[in-house]
Amino acid sequence: MSSELLRACVGRGPWLAAALSLALADQGGGPRFYPDDPLWVDRDDRFDASAAEPFELSEVWDMIENSIPASRPADPGRAQNVNTVDEVPDSSWFVNRLGRRPMSVDEIVRGPDLAPKLDVQEWVITGGKGRAGFQPGFRAVDARRPDVQYQLEVDLEQHAELATGAEIIGTALYHAIGYHVVDVYLVDVDPRKVRIAPDAKDRDASGRRPYTRDDFEEVLRLAKPNPDGTYRMTAGRFVGKSLGNFEHHGTRPDDPNDIHPHEHRRELRANRVFAAWLNHDDSRAPNSLDVLAGEEGRRFVRHYMFDFGSILGSSPDRWWSGQAYMFEHRELLKDLFTLGFRVRPWQRVDDPRRLPPAVGRIGSAAFDPASWKPEYPNRAFDNMRPDDAFWAARIVSRFSDEALRAVVAKARYSDPAVSEYLTATLIERRDAVVRTWLPAVNPIVDPALAADGTLSFDNAAVVAGVATGPVEYTLTWSRFDNAADARVGPTVEQRVTSPRAVAPASVLEGAEYVFVAIAASHARPPSWSHPVHIYLRRTSAGWETVGLERLPLAR
């Protein structure tokens, strides 16, 4: 049975999964690898999700639920949605981009945008933004394209360009990483070219009511106009029927394709690395978006990272941004017993108010990726293992200085000092992320066995320049019986000082599968001695890597 078929059966429901498990038990458990391994596409659009209904998550409940202390296992286990070579397949959650292929600087900067710029002559307001988020805004359409709706948001006057710049930068970077994001554009809105649709509505504490010109004027009063009387705003396109937010634990009950608990999805666990890099302390369920996509009769739920207006520390009033949770029970008790005179570490961090108001609370001098915290706990973040963090750090390492400089330029800051500071800070924080998490596990990557029996591989920490000095590799070879899921026959050990070795002929001869464990000896953490397990399958063209397991130390 192929792994695609196995995946499809599991998606049908627990009763079929149980029956399938019993059938496989009678057959000795089945082979370790199927002919279509490794899978690079997770067909989680297979079953129709048309019955999915909008779900509105309470922000207050999400904070309370995730802030209650709870015990968790020392090791939550390997992420459940990785393929046999320890990578995340493309899915309704994630699409491999910079992590698997080169991207030009122009492609990274363009992000999800459908056009270089949004040219709107007249905006028609269709409704208010409601109470979501701290940025003032409204919903509107281009008078020439009333079928496409946008959410427009403006900066607060005292922090002009802060949140709009963060939104543009975060959208481009998260898209290049691989997440689904909506396309967002910088626009200059002329109030004289804005009208309100007769049926426009807003929602406040008292419920739904008509949206009025006074509502629009109130948004403008909170913002700072450009010299020509226009207002700088971001315009984010609505991409389909909104189903509300996704949580960072459990699954969505009305989505038959959602079978992996969210706290065990690698792209959600490892988002802690990306959030730390960008100080996305507002990385929580209310800043996510589920959308019903696909054609009639075959709808599926696509999951978006949404609303980046608060990354880069763009909520300046949160002094603890990235340094502490909003509510930390033990810390609050300590404050109580010291009558509030205790000084917490984050209170010693320099206040960036000496910087232009378009710069948020983000720096690099005191940045410690391992101790970074979001606004409040996140179940998926708490389950991140070193192998999840390693996967994410490799992606972060692939953002060049040139690409980061160009992404910051896309935000069109009026003060060059803002662009210079943010570019330098993103580069320095990127380097800190790579130094922290690339060497934390055995960093063997990209193994390939040539037809002539030459094995080559890379050491990601050495390639990234965060590990120097001599490295000795110990390779342990054996044949592998795929049907029995067992190593068979004698083992052969080799020691090399470069990422290259010739496979023993006695192991390769007549073998369909071979196994090699690679351990590294270096003056780095002891995790390097934990071997990476590699499985290779013979093909008509030679050999292909069909399996890779990274064995991290217990947390």
pLDDT of residue 10: 45
**Tokens 């959308």 belong to which residue?**
291
> Please, which pLDDT band fits residue 161 given cuts at 50, 70 and 90?
very high
- For residue 15, give the 3-state DSSP assignment: helix
> Please, which pLDDT band fits residue 330 given cuts at 50, 70 and 90?
low
Rounded distance between C-alpha atoms, residue 197 and residue 142, angstroms: 12
Rounded distance between C-alpha atoms, residue 88 and residue 303, angstroms: 15
Supply the CATH classification number for the domain 444-550.
2.60.40
Kindly list the distances between the CA atom of residue 305 and the CA atoms of 285, 436, 449, 518, 529, in Å, as whole numbers in the listed order: 9, 25, 38, 36, 36
pLDDT digits (tens, 9 = 90+) for 268-305: 999 999 999 999 988 888 899 999 999 888 999 999 99
**Tokens 């997770």 belong to which residue?**
42
Task: Tell me the pLDDT of the chain averaged across its residues.
Answer: 88
pLDDT of 248 > 70? The answer is: yes
pLDDT of residue 321: 75
pLDDT digits (tens, 9 = 90+) for 26-54: 344 579 999 999 999 999 999 999 999 99
Looking at 9-13, 236-240, 313-317, which range is the least confident one? 9-13
Domain ranges of the chain: 1-30, 39-95+247-299+314-437, 107-242, 444-550
| DSSP 3-state percent helix, strand, coil across the chain (nearest 5) | 30, 25, 45
Angle between helices 271-278 and 386-397 (to 10 degrees): 50
pLDDT digits (tens, 9 = 90+) for 81-131: 999 999 999 999 999 999 999 999 999 999 999 999 999 999 999 999 865
> Please, which pLDDT band fits residue 206 given cuts at 50, 70 and 90?
confident
In contact, 96 and 178? CB cutoff 8 Å = yes
Q: Compute CA 326 distance to the chain's CA centroid, rounded to the nearest angstrom.
A: 22
